[in-house]
Amino acid sequence: MSYKIHNSFVLASDHAGYDLKEQIKFYLENNNFKVKDLGPFNNDSVDYPDYGKVLGDFIASNKNIIGIAICGTGIGISIALNRVSGVRAALCHNIEIAKLARNHNNANAIVFGGRFININDAVSILDVFIKEDFEGGRHKRRVDKLN
Ligand code: RB5
């Protein structure tokens, strides 16, 4: 199934990322971005591989969408996402990494550790990720090898 949206975002988390997911969703909607939330829809305990898989499949079949994923550390859901072919998920702790994740890795998903970052830092990092582009060139050769 194709669900093509331009300049739009798809989010998922586990329970440890739920609060930050809700805050990021609020921020994006208030800035007139389209947002699709794949859950969870409360902070009951869930398993990050399940949500990483659902989100990864969604990103892989929707080329112009940016994924946003959150678990406690950001590590588990990153691992889950990067098992899906075509997904390049980047755990971003700061602005510089977010910039390079787009410039060099053409990352199509940004990941946060919900227990280690606050909403103000997360949206600052997300803003950079949104605005930066892939540089191509030698980086394209490397990204192509991932496939
Ligand atoms: C859940 O307690 C926690 O293990 C999970 O959110 C994540 O940090 C795993 O990598």
Q: Per-domain residue ranges for the chain?
A: 8-144
Contact yes or no for 17/72 (Cβ under 8 A): yes
Q: Which CATH superfamily is domain 8-144 in?
A: Sugar-phosphate isomerase, RpiB/LacA/LacB (3.40.1400.10)
Confidence check: pLDDT of 133 > 80: yes
Cβ-based neighbours of 118, under 8 Å, separated by 6 or more: none
pTM: 0.95
Q: Which two tokens stand for residue 15?
A: 């329970």
Atom of ligand 1 at shortest range from CA of 79:
10
Q: Give the tens place of pLDDT for each residue, 58-84.
A: 999 998 899 999 999 999 999 999 999
Q: At what angle do helices 48-60 and 75-82 cross, to 10 degrees?
A: 40
The confidence score (pLDDT) of residue 3 equals 33
Query: What is the rounded distance in angstroms from the CA atom of residue 99 to the CA atom of residue 56?
Result: 21
Atom of ligand 1 at shortest range from CA of 17:
6
Distance 118 CA to ligand 1 centre (A): 17
Distance 55 CA to ligand 1 centre (A): 16
Backbone phi, psi, residue 12, to 5°: -155, 160
Q: Give the tens place of pLDDT for each residue, 88-129.
A: 999 999 999 999 999 999 999 999 999 999 999 999 999 999
